Structure 1
């Protein structure tokens, strides 16, 4: 942990020093721009009345000023990226100290009907998603959430390989995240895809050549004017003709400019992200395949996106009065750019969805790589296909403070069912969530909170936290029955690890004991694997009849009138309960 803290603190120090230098460069750049502007203004003032000299000075001045503005913009971006890198490392230092509740919690992804996410606190304040999420893009956060709830057992070894590779690339991950964090989108990638796929062109095909011909004519006319071969009136006539041609399409060009301006920033920033991916020589098959998706007929997608971003930026220049007058009047730039944009959309518009998905994939997997990097003592599960479903040594919950967490060893085999008893607060529910989260993490390809794990991939399904619903007119008991029916139906068609916590709480003790026993017998009869926690000791008797069932417990002891827990997972049946003791201890009853 100290090595990790040192790494992040050294990064913070490095970026702080670089940031100071860039800010000094920005200050100097602002001063130079001001001086150039003053010199141009004075020169034009002194040469006023000498039209050709004024135009020449103005042209040179505009070129110089635009160059300085571009350089200043680059410096501003560099400053912002370094600041983002500094924040990334500061965040990691906080997370190492268990301070992560300021990160996005993923409440929007909560789903009470999901196979397991609601029961194991996958989303929400203090959740595993909040702890592990480092995505910078909206689509990336959606992709990460999708990976967590996917419940897929496919390609786990390839996922592990990809995560291990990214874990070994901390500075690459941070570079990608910093650039991604600077993406200021005015719309969603979904909206952009919809616009590209449903776009209706309006520029006639003749505009492929007319702007070029008109531009050559304008340049020749300007040259002849400066050589005193033609009068100013010819330039004015060209301007009027240019405005006339552009004016026919002004409304549609303006509409295209408005629509494209929302996407321009996204394409500009995504181009930088694609460049980072393209320039990286990945070794794992999973990452190589993703990189290959952004290579089109030997041409890099970043180049294609850069072309489009430049076109969108050029069209946006219509808001500049000088560009509007000279660009459209003499060179028909608005029409020329609109034509090129439409050609790009026709050729590449339908590919944008895949490009966005690749970027979102890397944004999500960077979170997984960061998690693995931050937990070097966690174990990547060794995959097997034997009778052991899950075997862990020194297993714990990743959200518990490692300094205080009590680790446990356990092994559960195929078609085996654990019945876990124990006093209140002894650790039953935490253990259920520990096992459940190990399965989720293993299926995603993450290392799990254990020093050694062997795993035969299996999907997860749970019933641990049922609630009633006034809006759906459902009682607590009926909601629970629906959940149990859902589990029974699902295990008919696929292989699941079942985790249950105190089922049938909505009925009386006798009915609950009878119903719980029948349900467990049904699960065992269907050759299911799983765990059930209960306070009902009579349920443990079924182990005498069914060898697939094993009894385990968490204990509590009363020592010197104080309750003590060791949180150790043990074989057998719990005999010590604490409800009556706690009622008296808290002076609720006599």
Structure 2
């Protein structure tokens, strides 16, 4: 991973240098505005007796000040963007060292009833989601969680090509994510699209020509007054007429402004994200399809969204006294801006969900591409329809440090079941989660932690962490039975890879042995494939009577009063158990 960390260090260095230059420009910009203000004050003082000159100075100063503020805001945005890029690269260096527990954990996506997510630490602190997720948008995070849990096995080569292409575009991914990270929203994308879809107009159609005529007359009256051709009373009367017209719709304009202020940042940043998609060419089919949602139309989506962002910003300026009162009195500005917003909504409200979905897709898939970039030594499983469901050389768990990771080779064929025995802490549970992640990652289109992998796509279902529920007055044993019933019902209608950790833990040994054996026989008869970990050695006898069942184990040995594990997956049955030894070693019993 040296080339990966070198890339991140170089990006930090480059962006830090650019950030310092931008900060210097910001300091100069602030100084220029101060000089302009002082010069304007001096000019007003010097020409105080000449009203026309003073008015001209004030007007020109306001225009110049607005221009400088706009430029300053642009520099501030560039500064924030560079800070975001630096933060991204610093985060990646931390994650390469397995420091990632401060990142969003995805706790809200946990679901005890899901096919596998609860059992394999997919969400929550220290989870695979926390390790991989780099989404900047809530909608992107939601979509990424959906990819993790949808249990779909279609179009995997297509997904792989998309991940490969994005993994080779680190600068583009980081730029996209940095822009997305600057989105400050009070409403989700779903709420925005819902509001647009159900919006009811209130501005009359005549406001467009009337506001133009009204503004023209206002300008003429001001010029005539400036030339002393009419009195100020005429301007005052016209001004209050404008306020009266605007005031008639004040409540509805206030409601519109309240809603648009919540979505303004979304559109300000989303048009930039769309522009990133529009200007980038892709070659993989999936990325091309998603890009075409944005560019295959008669309109340029980024320009349309940018225009709407300007409309929203213009309406937001009404809080400024100069604009909120004077511009309404002379130009009917609030109504004209509200009209522009309503016409935009009427024209493009059906396009917005499509554009937002494209942004959401790239935000989520950037995390997958980032994972591929960070793990260039991982392999993309070769997809086939051969007998082996999963044939892996050097399989490991992606959350373990590679320096200390013990990798294992295994091959499990279609409709085979492995019975895995082993001492406590010997590596059974880690192996089960490793195999589970190989399947989940393979279905998503990710590279897997292995030296070589072949995969015949299959859906996953697990039962490893059944818990009781005091709230539902439900015992541990009954919870486990419900989970097993869920598995039995699912395998009737689809093809699954089943992973179980200790069947029927909640009952006595004799009953457990009988029930476990019958359940294994049922699974074998269902044409499913899977792995069952157990401490019950009597279950291993099934391999002697059922050709589909094979025994494997993880060993432990005691040498010089110390316990040693090799964490290696081996054929056979475990003969060494360590519970009694550990009880004595920890002085729990004599």
Q: Is TM more than 0.5 here?
A: yes
Instruction: Name the stretch that deviates more: 45-54 or 301-310.
Output: 45-54
Instruction: Name the stretch that deviates more: 7-16 or 435-444.
Output: 7-16
Residues 74-107 of structure 1, C-alpha deviation per residue, up to 9 Å, x if partnerless? 1111111101101100001111111111111111
1:220 CA drift (Å) = 2.6
Corresponding residue number in structure 1 for 2:87: 87
Distance in 1 separating the partners of 2:262 and 2:586: 61
In the alignment, structure 1 residue 451 sits paired with structure 2 residue 478: no
Corresponding residue number in structure 1 for 2:396: 396
Corresponding residue number in structure 1 for 2:538: 538
Distance in 2 separating the partners of 1:359 and 1:540: 51
SS in structure 1 of the partner of residue 206 of structure 2: helix
Corresponding residue number in structure 2 for 1:37: 37
Residues 321-344 of structure 1, C-alpha deviation per residue, up to 9 Å, x if partnerless? 111233211111111111111111
Residues 61-82 of structure 1, C-alpha deviation per residue, up to 9 Å, x if partnerless? 1110001101111111111110
Corresponding residue number in structure 2 for 1:219: 219
SS in structure 1 of the partner of residue 350 of structure 2: helix
1:189 CA drift (Å) = 1.8
Q: Segments of 4+ in structure 1 off by > 6 A?
A: none
Q: How many residues align?
A: 590
1:227 CA drift (Å) = 4.0
Distance in 2 separating the partners of 1:73 and 1:465: 52
Corresponding residue number in structure 1 for 2:501: 501
Distance in 2 separating the partners of 1:441 and 1:260: 40
In the alignment, structure 1 residue 135 sits paired with structure 2 residue 135: yes
- Where do 1:72-221 residues align within 5 Å? 72-221=72-221
1:154 CA drift (Å) = 1.2
Corresponding residue number in structure 1 for 2:363: 363
1:296 CA drift (Å) = 6.3
Instruction: Name the stretch that deviates more: 472-481 or 19-28.
Output: 19-28
Instruction: Name the stretch that deviates more: 297-306 or 486-495.
Output: 297-306
SS in structure 2 of the partner of residue 420 of structure 1: strand
Distance in 2 separating the partners of 1:526 and 1:486: 14
Distance in 2 separating the partners of 1:283 and 1:479: 48
- Where do 1:367-378 residues align within 5 Å? 367-378=367-378
1:51 CA drift (Å) = 2.8
Corresponding residue number in structure 2 for 1:341: 341
TM-score, normalization: structure 1? Answer: 0.98
1:9 CA drift (Å) = 0.9
Residues 269-322 of structure 1, C-alpha deviation per residue, up to 9 Å, x if partnerless? 111111111111111111111111123632121111111111111111111111
Distance in 2 separating the partners of 1:9 and 1:391: 37
In the alignment, structure 1 residue 354 sits paired with structure 2 residue 359: no
Distance in 2 separating the partners of 1:258 and 1:60: 32
Corresponding residue number in structure 2 for 1:245: 245
Instruction: Name the stretch that deviates more: 282-291 or 212-221.
Output: 212-221
Distance in 1 separating the partners of 2:330 and 2:247: 13
1:346 CA drift (Å) = 1.4
SS in structure 1 of the partner of residue 564 of structure 2: strand
- Where do 1:255-274 residues align within 5 Å? 255-274=255-274
Corresponding residue number in structure 1 for 2:521: 521
1:544 CA drift (Å) = 1.1
Pick closer, same or farther for the CA change 1:120–1:443 going to 2, 3 Å.
same
Residues 470-514 of structure 1, C-alpha deviation per residue, up to 9 Å, x if partnerless? 001100000000000000000001111000000100001111011
Instruction: Name the stretch that deviates more: 141-150 or 208-217.
Output: 208-217
Corresponding residue number in structure 2 for 1:567: 567
Instruction: Name the stretch that deviates more: 428-437 or 228-237.
Output: 228-237
1:32 CA drift (Å) = 0.7
Corresponding residue number in structure 2 for 1:302: 302
Corresponding residue number in structure 1 for 2:16: 16
SS in structure 1 of the partner of residue 246 of structure 2: helix
Gaps of 5+ in 2: none
Instruction: Name the stretch that deviates more: 340-349 or 375-384.
Output: 340-349
Instruction: Name the stretch that deviates more: 387-396 or 294-303.
Output: 294-303
Corresponding residue number in structure 2 for 1:280: 280
In the alignment, structure 1 residue 557 sits paired with structure 2 residue 557: yes
Corresponding residue number in structure 2 for 1:418: 418
Distance in 2 separating the partners of 1:321 and 1:50: 26
Corresponding residue number in structure 2 for 1:66: 66
Distance in 1 separating the partners of 2:330 and 2:50: 22
1:47 CA drift (Å) = 2.3
Gaps of 5+ in 1: none
SS in structure 2 of the partner of residue 376 of structure 1: coil
Distance in 2 separating the partners of 1:45 and 1:147: 67
Distance in 2 separating the partners of 1:490 and 1:62: 70
Distance in 1 separating the partners of 2:266 and 2:9: 31
Corresponding residue number in structure 2 for 1:383: 383
1:351 CA drift (Å) = 2.7
Distance in 1 separating the partners of 2:256 and 2:319: 13
Distance in 1 separating the partners of 2:433 and 2:69: 56
Corresponding residue number in structure 2 for 1:431: 431
Distance in 1 separating the partners of 2:94 and 2:113: 33
SS in structure 2 of the partner of residue 327 of structure 1: helix
Distance in 1 separating the partners of 2:370 and 2:297: 33
Distance in 2 separating the partners of 1:39 and 1:256: 39
1:7 CA drift (Å) = 1.1
SS in structure 1 of the partner of residue 349 of structure 2: helix
Distance in 1 separating the partners of 2:50 and 2:191: 52
Distance in 2 separating the partners of 1:414 and 1:552: 17
1:45 CA drift (Å) = 2.5
Distance in 1 separating the partners of 2:119 and 2:435: 12
Distance in 2 separating the partners of 1:72 and 1:80: 12
Corresponding residue number in structure 2 for 1:585: 585
| Cα RMSD (Å) | 1.2
Instruction: Name the stretch that deviates more: 286-295 or 458-467.
Output: 286-295
